[in-house]
Amino acid sequence: MQEFAYNPFSVKPRAGEAIGLSQSLGIPLHPAYTHFWSLVTIQDVYYLREKLIHYLDDSCVLPYDEKLKDILEQARMPHKMVAGAIQLRDDDALVLRTILNLEAPATQVKGASSLEALSLLAGFPIKNKAPIFVGARMGRPEKAKERIMTPRVHGLFPTGQAGGPRRDLIEASRKSVVTLDLVDRSCQQCGRWESKL
């Protein structure tokens, strides 16, 4: 525990230690053992508790139930299917036993949200692991195709706005007056014109 106190970002406590810390100090459960409970409804928390009171034992294996599996997936709790049953990791099973307070009699806890209900059941705060999700599209610029305009746009002959959005020379030649914005690149000291800056 001293190592965890000195290096909280690099040392992860075991599930039992994290639960003991939360219970004795009244602090939120360690993030490694906090799942996405805000994505689960309060009715799902009650359903999960009701099922686990009857089925969760030391083997950490639950009979297959589609709704139960959906709740575990919504909370992003790791589990796997073994011989038609749902198997939880030992640490996750211990955390579930604690935060759902499976040793207590089946009672409906009054809470406005799933996090509040879990906090009341556990006896210590359960915090929101991800209050906001940010989506981002990861493109692959190396695979992007060249965008070609037809006819091709060129900058060799300046046409201004006379050639339209495609800077078409033929369209610009049909107009009587073409107005261009050109840069005067003459040296202020000697007056000689330069093509570069």
Q: Cα 68–21–117 angle (5° rounding)?
A: 40
Mean pLDDT on 88-106: 85
In this structure, is residue 132 part of a structural domain?
no
Q: Which of 93-102, 153-162, 188-197 has the highest mean pLDDT?
A: 93-102
Quick one: pLDDT at residue 35? 92
What's the domain count of the chain?
Answer: 2
Q: What whole-number distance in Å separates Cα of residue 159 and Cα of residue 167?
A: 6
Domain of 75, in residue numbers:
2-122
State percent of the chain over pLDDT 90.
Answer: 16
**Bigger pLDDT: 107 vs 51:** 51
Confidence of residue 75 (pLDDT cuts 50, 70, 90): very high
Do residues 14 and 108 share a domain?
A: yes
pLDDT at 112: 85
- Tell me the C-alpha distance between 146 and 152, whole Å: 12
In a shared domain, residues 9 and 71? yes
On whether residue 49 sits in a domain, the answer given is yes
pLDDT for 136: 85
Q: What is the pLDDT of residue 76?
A: 92
